[in-house]
């Protein structure tokens, strides 16, 4: 039996398992960094991690820190996460 996943499904699964290193298309942060941002946003909001998706990421002011933009698929709220190349999250804030 073959198991096929779309890129979106794979990223959601990676976010839940935090074991993959597959970045969202067009993003610069690593898949691990994106997954760690999703986990941090879930802890920050006390909402399930599977409700978050990565919208984009880019290099921040420091070359080794990425700014990752997330959204909650259930509430529509948006969040900003700072993460380094090792997946260490330095902060999550809600955008208003």
Report angle CA 30, 35, 41 to the nearest 5 degrees. 125
* Residue 94: other Cβ atoms inside 10 A: 13
Average pLDDT over residues 47-70: 91
The pTM for the full model equals 0.70
Query: Could you give the CA distance from residue 56 to residue 28 in angstroms, rounded to a whole number?
Result: 8
Is the domain spanning 7-95 CATH 1.20.120? The answer is: no
Give the Cα separation of 11 and 42 in Å (integer).
Answer: 15
What confidence score (pLDDT) does residue 24 get?
55
> What are phi and psi for residue 17, nearest 5 degrees?
-90, -20
Q: Where are the domains of the chain?
A: 7-95
pLDDT at 50 over 80: yes
Q: Tell me the pLDDT band of 64, cut-offs 50, 70 and 90.
A: confident
3-state secondary structure (DSSP) of residue 17: helix
């Amino acid at each position: 039996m073959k198991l096929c996943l779309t890129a979106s499904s794979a990223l959601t699964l990676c976010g839940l398992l935090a074991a993959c290193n597959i970045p969202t298309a067009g993003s610069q942060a690593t898949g691990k960094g994106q997954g760690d941002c999703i986990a941090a946003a879930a802890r920050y909001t006390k909402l399930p991690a599977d409700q978050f998706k990565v919208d984009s990421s880019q290099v921040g002011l420091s070359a080794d820190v990425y700014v990752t933009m997330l959204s909650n698929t259930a509430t529509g709220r948006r969040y900003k996460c700072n993460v380094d190349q090792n997946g260490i999250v330095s902060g999550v804030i809600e955008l208003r």
